[in-house]
Structure 1
């Protein structure tokens, strides 16, 4: 399995609409990439530290794909542009991404 972690860093003045993200964007991701091998999505919302400090990330999404081929098929598929285009509807923060092999 391949995990794509999409991490939105806490950014001074940055906007992130968690309600839109959970109610609209994540269902879009599942609908768009499910047929091409997306197995599951986990959304993590950053919380303040015990000392009240801001979290390093506002949100992290872990997208689990069946295989590297499934990831390529999804990201190169007909709905990828739609998913990417929706990002502006919930944030102006540039995400970091990491690919990981899950065992």
Structure 2
């Protein structure tokens, strides 16, 4: 069963996020280091949390692998990706690994 890794960057007082760097350099590192183990990677920039509500997240990345074994291999290869986080944000990301069932 396909597995996703979601990386969520919450908005908070004093948080910063460089979307241009994230979209080009950081997501490029995802492809370079994790690409052999994933089937897709995409990121969404937070615009709103609903009508007249600020976005609760700067961005959310969704990385998909064919199965748990492939995701494990992708995570083992992710060292340079994780080390890059301070280059675009001061946020501690939240992580969710899940199975796709719908």
TM-score scaled by length of structure 1 = 0.89
Contact 1:10 1:54 in 2 (8 A): no
2:57 is matched with: 57
CA apart distance, 1:42: 1.6
Q: Deviations over 1:12-51 (max 9, x none)?
A: 111100000001000110111111x111112111113432
TM-score normalized by the length of structure 2: 0.90
In the alignment, the residues of structure 2 paired with residue 101 and residue 75 of structure 1 have an alpha-carbon distance, to the nearest angstrom, of 15
- Aligned twin of 1:41: 41
| Distance in 2 of aligned mates of 1:45 and 1:76 | 26
Q: How many pairs does the alignment contain?
A: 99
In structure 2, C-alpha distance between the alignment counterparts of 1:44 and 1:99, rounded to whole Å: 17
1:71 deviates by: 1.1
User: Per-residue deviation at 1:59?
Assistant: 0.5
Aligned counterpart, 1:73: 73
In structure 1, the gaps of 5 or more residues are none
Are 1:6 and 1:97, in contact at CA under 8 Å, matched by a contact in 2? yes
Q: Structure 1 runs of 4+ off > 6 angstroms?
A: none
Match of 1:74, SS?
helix
Q: Indicate the residue corresponding to 1:24 in structure 2.
A: 25
